[in-house]
Every structure is written in structure tokens, then in C-alpha cells.
């Protein structure tokens, strides 16, 4: 069974940084691309970033480009999201999501974690 467990969320002040982690199990982690998708409280889904199986390609939503960095450690079955210069607009649940393929775009999001809440507030 695929398991994706996010951690690292919490309360942070505007302009500060936060690092999210996702521990993956139940599948061959380095065979698949991975993503972060966020959901502001009471709102819809927004794709944030994706990364290839071997970190050879990454993509970002315009709203986070140049502020967020996605990375992975295949040896530790882990996915990360480094978030810098946070604003109140970044307040959301952040989901770790498994891709159906090994390339980070043009596939489906076939397994989702439970999410971790990031609150940006002074």
C-alpha cells in the first residue's frame, strides 16, 4: 500500500522560510515522479511543483517560481519542498502526491498524502 506522510508544516511569519518533507513507502520510490499540490482552506486544488524520478527535470507553478525548490532523496525515499519568502497567499494544506509515471508532466496524480498545514501569519 502506498503511503505518503508529510511533515514540516506549521506557523511561520511572512518573509520567512519553511521546509516540507514527505516520507514515501509501499512502492519503488525512484521509479516515479513526485509532486506537491496545495489547497488553501476551503478552496480548490493548486499544483505547486513536480520532479522527475531522477531529479533530472522539475517544474513549478508561476505563483511559486523562484521562491520554492523541490528536491528528492531516492536513497531515503523522501521528497522535499523548500519554501522561501513566504506570503499569506501561501497559507494552505500541502499534499505530497505520487505520479503515475516517471516524468513529472503529462501524467496523473495517483496517490496523495494526508497533507500538512502551512500557515503564514504575523
Partner 1 sequence: SFELTQPPSVSVSPGQTATITCSGDKLANTYVSWYQQRSGQSPVLVIYQNANRPSGIPGRFSGFNSGYTATLTISGAQAVDEADYYCQAWDSTTAVFGGGTKLTVL
Site map 55..84 versus partner 1, x via CB under 8 A = ----x-xx----------------------
Nearer to partner 1, 88 or 105 (CB): 105
In the DSSP assignment, the letter for residue 27 is S
Quote the Cα angle for 66-114-16, to 5°: 35
CB atoms within 10 A of CB 41: 9
In the DSSP assignment, the letter for residue 33 is -
From CA 100, how far away is CA 107, in angstroms rounded? 6
Nearer to partner 1, 14 or 71 (CB): 71
The reply to whether 50 sits near partner 1 by the rule CB under 8 A is yes
The reply to whether 8 sits near partner 1 by the rule CB under 8 A is no
Radius of gyration of the chain (CA): 13
Nearer to partner 1, 3 or 88 (CB): 3
Q: Which residues contribute to the site for partner 1 (CB under 8 A)?
A: 35, 37, 44-47, 50, 59, 61-62, 95, 100, 105-106, 108-115
Amino acid at each position: 500500500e502506498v503511503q505518503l506522510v508529510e511533515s514540516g508544516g506549521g506557523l511561520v511569519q511572512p518573509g520567512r522560510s519553511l521546509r516540507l518533507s514527505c516520507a514515501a513507502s509501499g512502492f519503488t520510490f525512484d521509479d516515479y515522479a513526485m509532486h506537491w499540490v496545495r489547497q488553501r482552506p476551503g478552496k480548490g486544488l493548486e499544483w505547486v511543483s513536480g520532479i522527475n524520478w531522477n531529479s533530472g527535470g522539475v517544474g513549478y507553478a508561476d505563483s511559486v517560481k523562484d521562491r520554492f525548490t523541490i528536491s528528492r532523496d531516492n536513497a531515503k525515499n523522501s521528497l522535499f519542498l523548500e519554501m522561501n519568502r513566504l506570503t499569506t497567499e501561501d497559507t494552505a494544506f500541502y499534499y505530497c502526491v505520487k505520479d503515475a509515471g516517471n516524468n513529472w508532466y503529462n501524467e496523473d496524480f495517483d496517490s496523495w498524502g494526508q497533507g500538512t498545514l502551512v500557515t503564514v501569519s504575523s
